Amino acid sequence: MSLLVVGSAFAADRAHNALTEHVRAANDRFKDVSVAVSEGYAPIPCASGIDGGAMGIHYVNAKLIGDGVDIKQPQAVMYEPKPDGKMELVAVEYITSKGPASLQGHLFNFNGAPNRYGLGPFYELHVWAWKANPHGTFADMNPMVSCEHTSMK
């Protein structure tokens, strides 16, 4: 492997870790789901993937969905329901109707309309800042997350 490739991989990994750390620091308050509720977030049913894994239960603040994003105010906060009924913070999702969009150099994914969310076309970026995702920090579904223990199936 050339030194240039190793350097590029190191720089990309550093950028990925920097964003994850910024997201975690800006949103750790959401570890307590009651904070999300007090800030205007409401739950939607747990989202599972057809190939396994899940995104968890999204607590969405529809008032924040628009043209921009603020790292401290994600449009959705994602929780995994646990066997004891508690909700574990696993990720956040940034959503904007204006694009192409990026957050600290990470490009958002485009979702056309119609879509399963009933929204117009939008751009989104998941950041798995509290639970590792073998598919990548910015992947939609996480095979390590389950909807098994939710009452909102």
To the nearest whole number, what is the mean pLDDT of the chain? 88
Q: Tell me what the mean pLDDT of segment 68-87 comes to.
A: 96
8 Å CB contact between 59 and 43: yes
pTM (2 d.p.): 0.86
Alpha-carbon span 16 to 21, nearest angstrom: 9
- Which range (20-29, 45-54, 101-110) has the least confidence? 45-54
Q: Tell me what the mean pLDDT of segment 57-66 comes to.
A: 95
Q: Is the pLDDT of residue 97 over 50?
A: yes
Q: What is the pLDDT of residue 16?
A: 58
8 Å CB contact between 145 and 131: yes
Strands annotated E in the chain: 42-43, 47-48, 54-60, 76-81, 87-96, 102-103, 106-107, 109-111, 122-127
By three-state DSSP, how is residue 139 classified?
A: coil
Q: Is the pLDDT of residue 13 over 60?
A: no
8 Å CB contact between 31 and 25: no
Bigger pLDDT: 47 vs 127: 127
Q: Tell me what the mean pLDDT of segment 129-140 comes to.
A: 94
Radius of gyration of the chain (CA): 16
Adjacent-strand bridge partners of 126: 93
